[in-house]
Structure 1
Amino acid sequence: MDTKKLRQKILDLAIHGKLVPQDPNDEPASVLLERIRAEKERLIKEGKIKRSRKTAKTSDTPHYEQDMPFEVPKGWMWTTLEEITSKIGSGSTPKGSNYSEGGIPFFRSQNVYNEGLVYEDIKFISDATHQLMIGTEVHSKDLLLNITGGSLGRCAIVPADFQIGNVSQHVCIIRSILVLSSYVHTFILSPFFKKTMNITGSGREGLPKYNLEKMFLPIPPLKEQERIIKEIEHWFTFIDTIEQSKVNLQTAIKQTKSKILDLAIHGELVPQDPSDEPASELLKRINPKAQITCDNEHSEKLPQGWCTCRLKDISIIITGSTPSKSNPNYYGGDVPFYKPADLDAGRFLEKSMEHVSEAGKKISRVVPMGSTAVCCIGSIGKVGYLTQEGITNQQINSAIPSEAVNSLFLYYTCASPSFYNELQLLSSAVTISIINKSKMENIKVSLPPLLEQKCIVKKIEELFTVLDTIEQSLQA
């Protein structure tokens, strides 16, 4: 379930008058707009706000006669943001960023989120500075809208118990009259607002005050506004529960996979077969120089037929390299060139974001299909299984399996929590974490008989396939 799209659909239904039924007994929006005009006149006469240069017209005439964006239900009205507000305007930044250690909260775009105001990294201004900027003081129930940069369109409702604050020039205050601020918030977060807002600027984009004032919005009767907000809160609470469940389930899936691998490399995932050739005998035959530190006869921790050896006893470790960027003939071919970011794609590396040519391949260390790539600089411990031949950059050490180990069992060994923890312990860092080839080669690993390795891999694949299916359903 795409919960983000679901939220957008609910907001879209809300401003189209399709989220809750209309009640013919509600005071129509036309009467509400007349009361808004009267209230604005009162505020103008008292000197609390200034008269706008041009008053917008409203109409309940169908959109095909008045060129309105879409038809609204009976009792609704089309109007502009300017007509239903007493203030639309951005703040300013104190000269020389004259912030103080404490005092009046000063909200910048990074403090404004759709879910509300965030006080992390909040700045403060003195009361004297605040008085100089009193024209852009924030009131309770105001809407704060980011009008520049990458967060343009993010909008927060100021809480009802808000005390005092101010905003920067990147944040616009929208103060509605008699229309619920939560309804205007719904309109601003809707797909319709994003589609119709008139953004200017080619470098740093912005939403000018004039363009914002002239934006059309549909206004329902006040009672219907209340019903709409109540229904949105009901649905969004339900969606929040779904999202939290997704997070919990994704965490559980990740933990379950780690547990499966932990059981696998400790011989607890599948039963042992005493007729299998012991791993120590297999290893001695294939690699007489292997350093077998113990077997099940000397360690009660190892299952029957298992032994412990070094990673280099069952594989060849090679460190990748990057073909010179100064030679364009090395790039643009069909040979996969794997980097640490490619290891985020999942268990199997089926494609890479960059490729090299055959010329680039010839001067590089080629990693055969079936090898395990391990990131050993920076994001140490990320792993991937190569499904095709390729090369890697210098941040990756690759383990090429010998005949003593099943290639996928080697991958799952390197992907296990125990191996990851060992990498972390062995890594050294000044500015970036590094584990060199020699250290990786000498990591001790547990090796089961070859037939048991295949059984373990088969069981892991069965369990992971089920978990992957569940995980994919969360993304649908």
Structure 2
Amino acid sequence: MTQQIQINKIEYPQVSELCDFRKGKKVNSTQTKTKDSVPYLLIDTLRGAEPEFFTEDKNYTEAIPDDILIVADGANSGLVGTGVSGAVGSTILRIRLKVKDLDKDYLSYFLKSKFEEFNKDMKGTGIPHLKPKNMLESKIRKPSLPEQTLIVQEIEKQFTRLDASIKSLKSVKQKLEVYRKAVLKKAFEKKDDWEGIYVRDMGKIITGKTPKTSIQEYYGDEFCFFKPGDLDKGYFVNDSVTKLSKKGLEVLKELPEKSIMVTCIGATIGKTGFNRVAGATNQQINSIIVNQNKFVPEFLYYLFVSENGQRNIIDNSSSTTLPILNKSRFENLNFFVTLLKEEQTLIVQSIESKFSVIDKIEQVVEESLKKSEKLRKSILKSAFEGKLVKIEEVEE
């Protein structure tokens, strides 16, 4: 739809000509809210979260809902938020308009359109910092106030549609994950002819350890040294952040490929990996070198990542602040399984057939989500090139 507005010369001022900037301050804060305290605004607040911290300090950088806040330090530099009030955190810049013919939301969307540019163009090798000079010198297309309002309205209309699509896609992802768990749960439901078997009877059980870091010869780039973080790849663990030399591997217990690696300590207890290359693990992981005369390795992997497998691990770990499942307890975990390798193979084939369909749908969903983010950037780019809203200019 073409909009009619009064002719107005398009200006291209620098952001510094339109706003005042002030850095936030570090204050004494607490999670207790009192009648004399104000919210302490941190990065999560800019993402829409409710403030968790409050301060009664009087010497702080104040933000009001009409201000724009932008993260100036750290990996989130360039993140923009509006509509909040309180004490601005030390990693955040407060931006306050000093002209009347600029729509606050128009400027906010402009800064959001520059997120990648601001986030990449930073100074500092430790904690990265936004370069205020570059932001201040950024030129903004500044049409008349009515056109700014129309552009903001069109951005928000298109973003509302886009957000609805993204919400639907994320809902599909959640349902696929539920279905994936249901597939595993069904696959390992106890059958009448299944037998109880201890983990120690599935193969050789070993607990990893870490070679002395003071001996540099133990480390290199020849063999994988698996830690819990490396198990995030689950069924396809084929690499590790840390590597060992041949000498380093010799002082450890080598894991052949297709072993079952289970994290047995800490917050990620139960995280399971299936290694596709030989290597070794650190002491946080208990592993099964599968007796392949009796068991299909893939069958045991899926058993351990199933709901039943994960519950068995957690229920048998020590109930302390730091949950632990030591080697003895791990070896004595008991599962009901089929001992027929032919049936194990059929179960694996059934699982992987269903997972293949799920994977294809997930791939389509992920590609659609990426396209959605590209579309969001494209909308903002068009908006600040004057291409998002068609304007028919009329003279008074």
TM-score bracket relative to the smaller structure: 0.7 to 0.9
Q: How does 1:75-154 map to 2 (within 5 A)?
A: 76-85=10-19, 87-90=20-23, 92=25, 101-103=34-36, 105-110=38-43, 112-113=45-46, 115-116=47-48, 118-125=49-56, 129=58, 137-154=62-79
Number of residue pairs aligned between Structure 1 and Structure 2 = 361
Q: Do the aligned residues in 2 keep the contact of 1:317 with 1:400 (CA within 8 Å)?
A: yes
Q: Distance in 1 between matches of 2:88 and 2:41?
A: 6
Change (3 A) 1:81 1:386: closer
Alpha-carbon offset, residue 320 of structure 1: 1.3
Q: Distance in 2 between matches of 1:441 and 1:91?
A: 54
Alpha-carbon offset, residue 343 of structure 1: 0.8
Alpha-carbon offset, residue 324 of structure 1: 1.7
Change (3 A) 1:438 1:105: same
Q: Do the aligned residues in 1 keep the contact of 2:257 with 2:275 (CA within 8 Å)?
A: yes
Alpha-carbon offset, residue 251 of structure 1: 2.2
Q: Do the aligned residues in 1 keep the contact of 2:72 with 2:93 (CA within 8 Å)?
A: yes
- 1:77 aligned partner, one-letter code: E
Q: Distance in 2 between matches of 1:182 and 1:471?
A: 35
Q: Distance in 2 between matches of 1:340 and 1:223?
A: 56
- 2:88 aligned partner, one-letter code: V
Aligned to 1:373: 261
Alpha-carbon offset, residue 313 of structure 1: 2.0
Q: Which runs of 5+ in 2 are unaligned?
A: 368-396
Aligned to 1:309: 197
Change (3 A) 1:430 1:463: same
Aligned to 1:444: 334
Corresponding residue to 1:339 among 208, 227, 234: 227
Corresponding residue to 1:238 among 153, 161, 175: 161
Q: How does 1:247-266 map to 2 (within 5 A)?
A: 247-266=170-189
Cα deviation code 1:286-332 (max 9, x no counterpart)? xxxxxxxxxxxxxxxx33x4222212223221111222212111111
Identical amino acids, percent of aligned pairs: 29
Q: Which runs of 5+ in 1 are unaligned?
A: 1-19, 31-75, 268-301
Aligned to 2:393: none
Cα deviation code 1:192-228 (max 9, x no counterpart)? 8835998666666555777655432111222222221
Change (3 A) 1:184 1:28: farther
Q: Distance in 1 between matches of 2:128 and 2:279?
A: 42
- 1:83 aligned partner, one-letter code: E
Aligned to 2:285: 396
Q: Distance in 2 between matches of 1:79 and 1:194?
A: 18
Q: Do the aligned residues in 2 keep the contact of 1:367 with 1:390 (CA within 8 Å)?
A: yes
Larger Rg: 1
Alpha-carbon offset, residue 361 of structure 1: 1.6
Aligned to 1:360: 248
Q: Distance in 1 between matches of 2:305 and 2:172?
A: 21
Alpha-carbon offset, residue 239 of structure 1: 2.5
Moved more, 76-85 or 338-347: 76-85
Aligned to 1:156: 81
Alpha-carbon offset, residue 426 of structure 1: 0.9
Q: Does 1:320 align with 2:243?
A: no
Aligned to 1:224: 147
Change (3 A) 1:186 1:197: farther
Alpha-carbon offset, residue 372 of structure 1: 0.9
- For 2:35, what is the secondary structure of its paired residue? coil
Change (3 A) 1:240 1:311: same
Q: Distance in 1 between matches of 2:265 and 2:62?
A: 50
Corresponding residue to 2:239 among 347, 351, 357: 351
Change (3 A) 1:368 1:110: same
| TM value normalised by structure 2 | 0.80
Moved more, 232-241 or 197-206: 197-206
Change (3 A) 1:174 1:150: farther
Aligned to 1:406: 296
Q: Does 1:167 align with 2:88?
A: yes
Q: Does 1:471 align with 2:359?
A: no
| TM value normalised by structure 1 | 0.68
Aligned to 2:105: 182
Q: Distance in 2 between matches of 1:249 and 1:165?
A: 38
Change (3 A) 1:183 1:323: same
- For 2:55, what is the secondary structure of its paired residue? strand
Alpha-carbon offset, residue 370 of structure 1: 1.9
- 1:79 aligned partner, one-letter code: P
Q: Distance in 2 between matches of 1:309 and 1:168?
A: 56
Aligned to 1:61: none
Alpha-carbon offset, residue 350 of structure 1: 1.9
